[in-house]
Structure 1
Amino acid sequence: MAPRAGFVSLKGFYMPVIVQGLLTIVIGVGGCIGYFYLSNLLLDKVIFPAKGENAGRNINRANQIRPWLFLFPAIFALGLYLVYPVVGSFWRSLYGRSPSDWVGFDNYVQLAASNEFQQAFFNNLLWVIVVPAMATFLGLLVAQLTDKLSWGNIAKSLIFMPMAISFVGASLIWKFVYANDADIGLINAIRASLGFGNPIDVMQIPFWNNFFLMVILIWIQTGFAMVILSAALRGIPEETIEAAILDGANPWQLFFRIKVPQIMGTIVVVWTTITILVLKVFDIVYTMTGGNFGTEILPSYMMDFMFRDDGRATAVAFIIMIVVLPVMIWNIVQARKEMR
């Protein structure tokens, strides 16, 4: 018999979901407290007891090991849920369609020689270059302009609203904008009003259709960039702005030479966050074109192999991770520089 709504079946015993949640919290928190208490007790009373002629040395040794006791649960969780899947994915990418079909690096060699993979990689590169730059620039521009308007908060709310829409929902909205029909599609309606010929399907225009897809993600992420950068702009000390005005700086110089350098760290964080999102985007391409008409990107290309060649799909996933790594490392380096 299926469990009732709000209940979870545990070997025939139906437990309310709220009770299960409370038990999970109690067991989890209690387990952490018990671990830290018992590990400290074992360290101080059994392994390095603070008594006898070696009491001082034992205390020092215990204090050196104690931080690792506190870090161990986090390190174990990271190893189990992050390191192990990465290593396992790389190992699986060395096999063919079945786990017993060892192919070594053949999957990577075949991908490198594939025109479809090269096209997907090139398209992903375009996304990484265009979307973060445009979304960050537009977010910064809107943040600066709306801060000077009496109705700026209303404008910000309207611009931020696309963030509340899923990628699939946003894609369906833009399908109407790009529709190959002058009565529905906004682009074709404008073309018809200007006296152009038959309607066109912008999703089938080679190369440029990628940019039409990018517009959707830029539309969504501009609100995110605007909110973060608006807060950063408001955090700039007024003294520096007033000093620049007294020195004769015009609005352009005030913005690009005074404000932007002071929030460069925030701009980098926004740019990096959007870049990582771009490298994982899949929904927009799959909903709009299914990866057809030259719009294939690495995540959608990976999905093509997901159910027919698991080894090659895992190889594509590993390549995506490698592409993300330099962005992450660069972001960490920049964050450390900001902290100095």
Structure 2
Amino acid sequence: MQNPNEIPNGKTGPLTWIGANLGRILVSLIVPILTFVILWQGYIFLRDSDAPKLVIATIAIIWGVGGVALLFYVTNWLVEKLPGSWVRRIQPFVFVGPGLALLGWFLALPVLRTLYLSLLDETSTKFVGLENYKYAFTDRIMLEAFRNNLLWMIVGTSVCVVLGLLIAVLADRTKYESIYKSIIFLPMAISFVGSGVIWKFVYAYKGEGVGIQEIGLLNAIVVACGGQAQAWLLNPPWNNFLLIVIMVWMQTGYAMVLLSSAIKGIPAELLEAARVDGASEVQAFFKITIPYIQGTIITVTTTILIFSLKLFDIVRVMTGGNNGTNVIANEFYIERFTYNSPGRASAIAIVLLIAVIPVMVYNLRQFRERKAF
């Protein structure tokens, strides 16, 4: 009689294979469980421990770095126990899987939840369909926010890129290039909130009407030149341009550094050949420099464009969105945390996400065409 665990042609059946590999199976089950227990106990300790902060910080570093390394090692070890064809299929996901999981948990799921909340009323209990989106595109305050964001995108982005390019070209020809660039790049080290506080002192005023006093730097300069002190942040639409100055002050250094690096990558032979052929510096700039660094210009422009779309900190600190300076992100904050209307706030967040997506897609396409990744 034939053994039920044997297959014709001398091959063993599944029961025989399981018996022969029982140890490997048990190890493959126990090792991931132990890994999870170790990582979980470390998390519990960091969450509930009353140990000194230095001890907790040290353990957090060891637990974080070591835990990730252990997780990758164990997962890779388990995959390598599989047949060769399965190893080739699964192993790439061992390395990209945690990243995809984090993106899914912290990005994709919140977007889906926000989309769901945007279809509910202010209590998040009653389905209202597209009513919140109707508000987002018809309310006077929202239309003002869209207009201001468009102003930031066009004026702010253009000035940042043009100034950054101009400074990069001019600084490249000076003796103290590194000093000049360091000074211009320095505002990038300051937070947006910090920048807002600094410039609030510049635009500061006291009193109303003809009684305004020149307590701010700008008013002091105006009065010293024979002018009259102004309440700069109370006069729309010019107050929006004064806020855009802060963005230009911060982002020009970023544009300058990237564009300067791209300019230094232009072969000297190209510029020298242009000069030999009789081209002026202006002609060489527009015919050689600009086309050669076009990819970097697009990258810088789209990056600052996305920043201007998501702008929040400067407006919140300087004016709170009052006096015609409101922007989309600030209106989202007001709807959610002041008016406690998660439905409208979620709809505004989705609108902002949709507005950013085309810029990001265009940027990625440009990267792909230039084989940036």
Tell me by how many angstroms 1:170 deviates: 1.5
Q: CA separation in 1, counterparts of 2:48 and 2:261?
A: 52
**Which of 315, 318, 339 does residue 350 from structure 2 map onto?**
318
Q: What does residue 189 of structure 1 align with? A: 220
Q: CA separation in 1, counterparts of 2:94 and 2:47?
A: 34
2:300 counterpart of 1:270: yes
> Structure 2 vs 1, CA of residues 171 and 69 (structure 1 numbering), >3 Å: closer, same or farther?
closer
Q: Is residue 153–residue 305 contact of structure 2 (8 Å, CA) maintained in 1?
A: yes
Q: What does residue 97 of structure 1 align with? A: 122
Q: What does residue 173 of structure 1 align with? A: 198
> Structure 2 vs 1, CA of residues 135 and 279 (structure 1 numbering), >3 Å: closer, same or farther?
same
CA RMSD of aligned residues (A): 2.0
> Structure 2 vs 1, CA of residues 174 and 13 (structure 1 numbering), >3 Å: closer, same or farther?
closer
Q: What does residue 335 of structure 1 align with? A: 367
Q: CA separation in 2, counterparts of 1:267 and 1:217?
A: 18
Instruction: Work out which of the two has the higher radius of gyration on C-alpha atoms and give 1 or 2.
Output: 2
Tell me by how many angstroms 1:11 deviates: 4.3
2:69 counterpart of 1:29: yes
Q: Is residue 182–residue 192 contact of structure 1 (8 Å, CA) maintained in 2?
A: no
Which secondary structure does the structure 2 equivalent of 1:14 belong to? Answer: coil
Tell me by how many angstroms 1:101 deviates: 2.3
**Which of 298, 304, 309 does residue 279 from structure 1 map onto?**
309
Q: CA separation in 1, counterparts of 2:191 and 2:46?
A: 32
Q: What does residue 152 of structure 1 align with? A: 177
Q: CA separation in 1, counterparts of 2:327 and 2:320?
A: 10
Q: CA separation in 2, counterparts of 1:270 and 1:188?
A: 34
> Structure 2 vs 1, CA of residues 34 and 271 (structure 1 numbering), >3 Å: closer, same or farther?
same
**Which of 245, 252, 274 does residue 282 from structure 2 map onto?**
252
2:147 counterpart of 1:109: no
Deviation readout 1:137-166 (Å, 9 max, x if unpaired): 101110111111112211111111111112
Q: TM-score, normalised by structure 1?
A: 0.87
Q: Is residue 75–residue 94 contact of structure 2 (8 Å, CA) maintained in 1?
A: no
Structure 1: 5+ residue runs without aligned partners? 1-7, 45-49, 51-58
2:252 counterpart of 1:222: yes
Tell me by how many angstroms 1:32 deviates: 1.1
Deviation readout 1:183-220 (Å, 9 max, x if unpaired): 43343334334433x42112111111111100001001
Q: CA separation in 2, counterparts of 1:166 and 1:132?
A: 19
**Which of 92, 97, 101 does residue 72 from structure 1 map onto?**
97
- State the 4+ residue runs in structure 1 displaced beyond 6 angstroms: none
> Structure 2 vs 1, CA of residues 151 and 11 (structure 1 numbering), >3 Å: closer, same or farther?
closer
Q: CA separation in 2, counterparts of 1:253 and 1:182?
A: 49
Q: TM-score, normalised by structure 2?
A: 0.80
Tell me by how many angstroms 1:62 deviates: 5.5
Q: What does residue 125 of structure 1 align with? A: 150
Which secondary structure does the structure 2 equivalent of 1:317 belong to? Answer: helix
Tell me by how many angstroms 1:113 deviates: 1.8
Tell me by how many angstroms 1:100 deviates: 1.6
Tell me by how many angstroms 1:13 deviates: 6.0
Q: What does residue 56 of structure 1 align with? A: none
Q: CA separation in 1, counterparts of 2:47 and 2:239?
A: 51
Which secondary structure does the structure 1 equivalent of 2:121 belong to? Answer: coil
Q: CA separation in 1, counterparts of 2:183 and 2:120?
A: 49
Stretch deviating more after TM superposition (318-327 or 21-30): 21-30
Q: Is residue 72–residue 95 contact of structure 2 (8 Å, CA) maintained in 1?
A: no
**Which of 200, 206, 209 does residue 230 from structure 2 map onto?**
200
Q: What does residue 341 of structure 2 align with? A: 309
Deviation readout 1:112-147 (Å, 9 max, x if unpaired): 220000000111111111111111110111011111
2:316 counterpart of 1:291: no
